[in-house]
Amino acid sequence: MSTLATILQDEISTATLQKGLYAIAACTLIGAAAYAGYKAAEPETKHLPSHRHPESNEQIEKVLEALRLDDDDKLRVIMQSLEREMELGLSPATHPTADVKMFATYVRSTADGSETGQVLALDLGGTNFRVLLVDLLPQSKVELTSKIFVIPQSIMLGEGSYLFRHLADCLMEFMNKENLNKPGVRYPLGFTFSFPCKQEGLASARLSTWTKGFTCSGVVNEDVVKMLQVAIDEKNINVQCVALVNDTVGTLMACAYKDPNTEIGLILGTGTNACYMEKLDRVGTWDGDYNDPKQVIINMEWGAFGNNHRLNHIRTKYDEEVDLSSVNPGKQIFEKMISGMYMGEIVRLIMLDLIHQNLLFIGKCNGSEDFKTPLFTRGGFYTKYVSSVEMDEGIGFSNTRRVLEDIGIRNPSYDDCAIVQHICKIVSKRAARLAGAGLAVLINRINKPNVTVGVDGSLYRYHPRFKRNMEKCMQNLVSKNIKFLLQLSNDGSGIGAALTVAAAEALSNQEKTKRSYPLSDDGSGKGAGLIAVVASRYLQQLSQSTSTLHNHNNEKVPTQFQKHLSTLQSPM
C-alpha cells in the first residue's frame, strides 16, 4: 500500500512539474514575441546619425546640393545670360517677344533736394495698398500721412473695373478724413503701380501681365491710369492722376533724394524687380526726344528672366513644383527663385522631401492628424519664418522651436532645429546671390566710380543675412574699379513717386531754385507724388491732362501747383 502511494505521489509530482515547465515555456514564448513586436515598432532612434552639423551629413547635403550657388563662375554665366536678355528687351526688333521687357519709364532725372510742396499718391503693389499725402519740405525733409487699405481676394481675382472702383473708394475715404475735399480745388496724384507695364508717357501705361496673385480680368493691355481716372471721376473726386511710377523707380528716386550717386532701384519683397538709369543711345525702343539729359530710367521687369528656360540649369525640382502650383506657371521664373512670395514654400518642399527620406522629424509625422498641419499645407511655411529661423544664434534655437511648433511639429529635437536652419540658410543664400549677380550686371553696365543702389522690400529689410550675402557675392562680380553701396530706401514706393514729379519739373525749367508744388517724399507714395510734379513738365504732350486740370468743371488747381503749371505752359 505504501509502495502504491509512493508511485501515485511521484506521478502527480511529475505531472505538476511538466505543467510548470510548459507554463514557463509558454510565458517565455509570449514574452519573446511581445519583445520582438515592440522592437519592430520602436523608432530606430538609437541608430540615427547625428545631424548637429547637418552640412557634414552626406544624405542631407545630397538633397541640398542642387540649391548651392557658391561657384562664382556659374553666376557669371547667369550674368551674361541676363545681359543678353536685357539687349533683347531694349531692341525694337526683339522687344515684343523679349522676357525681360526693359520698359522706358519717361523719367529722365532725379530730384536734387530743393523741391517743396504737397501731393497725393496711391501705392498699389500687393494685397495691401496705401493712400498718401506727401509733404516735401526744405532741406530734403519729408512728412508723410498715409493709410493702408486691404484688397480682398475676391477683388484681386475679379473684374478689373471693381479693382479700380475699390481704389477710388479708399482714396475718397482718405481725402474725407484729411479734409482734402475742398470746393473748387483739384489735386494732382501720382500712382505707384507695381506690375509690369508698357509705359507710353508719364501718365499712360498699359498692363503687360498680372503678378503677385492678381488676375483681374479686362486690364491686361489696357491703360491703367485711364481706368483709375474713370473710377475717380465716377465718384466725383477732385483728383487728376498725372503720373504713374513703378515701385522700383520710386525706390530709386527716394534714395537719390538723399544720395546723388543713386543709379539703381531694387525691390526685394513679395516680388522682385530692378530699374536703373540708362543712356538713351542704348535704348532702341525710345520714342521720346533726345534733349539733355540723354538718359532715362529703365524698368527691367527682371522677375521674368528665365521664362525662356535660360535658368533651367540651376532650377531644382522644388522650383518646378513651386512654379507648377502658382497662379502663373512658366512665368516670373527668376522671381520665384528669389522673392518672399515663394521662398518659404521652397523650404517647406525641401522639408517634406527630407521627411520622406526619414532624415527629418523622425517619429513626429506618423498620425493622420499630422497631415492636416501647416507643414503639409501649400503655403504653410511663411517666408517670415525663414528670417525668424536664421535669427537664432547658439544652441537654444528658441525661434526655430517656436516656428516648428507653429507648423505642427511637437517637441522638435536639437537635430530637427539644426537641419531646418541649415535648409533656410541654403535657400536664402541662393536667393541673395542671384539678386547680387543681377545687380552686378547693372553696376558694371553703368560703369561709374561710385554707384548707390536704393533697396526696399520686406525680404531685404527683415532678413538677417540677405544684405550681407548679396554684398559678399557682389564683391567678386563687380568690376574692381567701381565702389558700390546698398542703401535702404525708406518707403520708396510712396516718396519716390512724388520726387519723380518734382524732378521732371526741375528738368523742365532748367533751374536749381526752390519750387513749391503739391508733392511729397517717401519712395512709393512719396515717389508717386514727385512723379505728379514731373508729369507736369510734359503738359504740352499730355494735352488731355492739361485741359482737364484747368477746365474740368471749372475747378482750380491748388494755388502753389497752379503757378507751376503756368510756368510749364509758357514758351521754352
pLDDT tens figures, 167-211: 999 999 999 999 988 888 888 788 889 888 888 888 899 999 998
Q: What pLDDT does 545 receive? A: 36
Among the ranges given (2-11, 269-278, 479-488), the one the predictor scored with the smallest mean pLDDT: 2-11
Q: DSSP 3-state helix, strand, coil percentages of the chain (rounded to 5)? A: 50, 15, 35
Q: Classify residue 564 as exposed, middle or buried by CB count within 10 Å of its CB (0-12, 13-18, 19+).
A: buried
How far is residue 171's CA from residue 180's CA, in Å, rounded to a whole number?
11
Q: What pLDDT does 202 receive? A: 83
How far is residue 531's CA from residue 250's CA, in Å, rounded to a whole number?
9
pLDDT tens figures, 392-443: 988 889 999 999 999 999 999 999 999 999 999 999 999 999 999 999 999 9
Q: How many residues are given for the chain?
A: 572
3-state secondary structure 441-475: HHHHHHCCCEEEEEEECHHHHHCCCHHHHHHHHHH
- Return the active site residues: 130, 194, 247
Q: What is the DSSP string of 340-385?
A: HHHHHHHHHHHHHHHHHTT-SSTTSS-SGGGGGSGGGSTT-S-HHH
DSSP SS3 for 533: helix
Q: What is the DSSP string of 95-137?
A: GGG-SS--EE-S------S-EEEEEEEEEESSSEEEEEEEEEE
For 566, what's the count of Cα atoms within 13 Å in the CB-facing half-sphere?
A: 8
Residue 467 or 1, more confident: 467
CA distances, 26 to each of 31, 38, 344, 460 (Å): 8, 18, 56, 69
CA distances, 354 to each of 61, 349, 374, 402 (Å): 11, 9, 16, 20
Q: What pLDDT does 542 receive? A: 35
Confidence of residue 460 (pLDDT cuts 50, 70, 90): very high
Calculate mean pLDDT across residues 79-94. Answer: 98
How far is residue 357's CA from residue 58's CA, in Å, rounded to a whole number?
13
How many Cβ atoms sit within 10 Å of the Cβ of residue 44? 10
Q: What pLDDT does 24 receive? A: 61
Q: What pLDDT does 329 receive? A: 95
Q: Residues with Cβ < 8 Å from 201, sequence gap 6 or more?
A: 106, 538, 541, 542
Does residue 536 contact residue 504 with C-beta atoms inside 8 Å?
A: yes
Q: What pLDDT does 136 receive? A: 80
pLDDT tens figures, 130-173: 999 988 888 778 888 999 999 999 999 999 999 999 999 999 99
Among residues of the chain, what percentage have pLDDT more than 70? 77
pLDDT tens figures, 263-284: 999 999 989 999 999 999 999 9
Q: What pLDDT does 494 receive? A: 78
Which own/partner contact pairs does 281-285 have at CB distance under 8 Å and 24+ positions apart? 282/90, 283/90, 283/102, 283/104, 284/90, 284/91, 284/92, 284/93, 284/95, 285/90, 285/91, 285/92, 285/95, 285/102, 285/104
How many Cβ atoms sit within 10 Å of the Cβ of residue 510? 8
pLDDT tens figures, 216-268: 999 999 999 999 999 999 999 999 888 888 889 999 998 998 899 999 999 99
Most confident of 200-204, 352-356, 530-534: 352-356
Q: What is the overall mean pLDDT for the chain?
A: 82
pLDDT tens figures, 539-569: 333 333 333 333 333 344 444 444 343 333 3
Q: What pLDDT does 190 receive? A: 85
Q: What pLDDT does 199 receive? A: 87
Does residue 365 contact residue 410 with C-beta atoms inside 8 Å?
A: no
Q: What pLDDT does 327 receive? A: 87
How far is residue 215's CA from residue 209's CA, in Å, rounded to a whole number?
9
Q: How many helices (H) and strands (E) does the chain have?
A: 19, 14
DSSP state of 439: H
pLDDT tens figures, 46-64: 344 455 577 668 899 999 9
How far is residue 111's CA from residue 260's CA, in Å, rounded to a whole number?
9
Q: Estimate the crossing angle of helix 224-234 against helix 160-177, to 10 degrees.
A: 60
Calculate mean pLDDT across residues 530-536. Answer: 48
Calculate mean pLDDT across residues 292-321. Answer: 96
Q: Is the pLDDT of residue 334 over 50?
A: yes
Largest pairwise CA distance in the chain: 149
Q: What pLDDT does 562 receive? A: 40
In this prediction the pTM is: 0.76
Among residues of the chain, what percentage have pLDDT more than 90? 56
Q: What pLDDT does 496 receive? A: 82
Q: Is the pLDDT of residue 28 over 90?
A: no
